[in-house]
Amino acid sequence: MRLVIQRVSGAKVTVDGHIAGEIGAGYVALVGAEEGDTIKDIEYAVGKTAGLRVFEDAGGKMNLALADVGGAILAVSQFTLLGDVRKGRRPSFIDAARPEAAEPMFNAYCDALRALGIRVETGIFQTHMEVSLVNDGPVTILIDSRRRF
């Protein structure tokens, strides 16, 4: 599972002109499920997302987690995170999980975060979405459950 986590002061996702999900301070989590991902990959991604300490404490150090600041997550499924551009200029998405496998994995990721008491808003799976956000910092973190970077 591959994620891009952006610390935001606010974000929303719109589908067909209607807001599907919206948060104030917290994270936008772009989530890509990979072929062969298992519950272990989901658990790793959830643990890293919930445990990230990228909010500033009173001393100005990135030392606080999402729960410490009462933040929320706007999670958006994004298979293009698995795009491979090592050969040529057109991305190959062969490593991305098929929609019938990716959707339950994305939902399990969101449900596991909710089980930790985190408010999670989402886009709508397999639709064209417009994501608007204000990246706070900017702070952007990459997470890969297979630890390739």
Note the pLDDT tens digit of each residue in 70-86: 999 999 999 999 999 99
Closest Cα to residue 118, out of 23, 3, 18, 43? Answer: 23
Question: For position 148, what pLDDT does the model report?
Answer: 75
Q: Considering the domain 2-144, what is its CATH architecture?
A: 3-Layer(bba) Sandwich (3.50)
CA dihedral angle for residue 13, residue 19, residue 24, residue 29, rounded to 10 degrees: -20
Domain boundary assignment for the chain: 2-144
Positions marked active-site: 78-80
pLDDT score for 53? 98
The parts of the chain modelled with pLDDT lower than 70 are 149
Global confidence as pTM: 0.95
Return mean pLDDT, the chain. 96
User: Which residue, 93, 95, 96, 116, is CA-closest to 106?
Assistant: 96
Distances (CA, A) of 36 to 28, 95, 105, 145, 146: 24, 9, 11, 11, 11
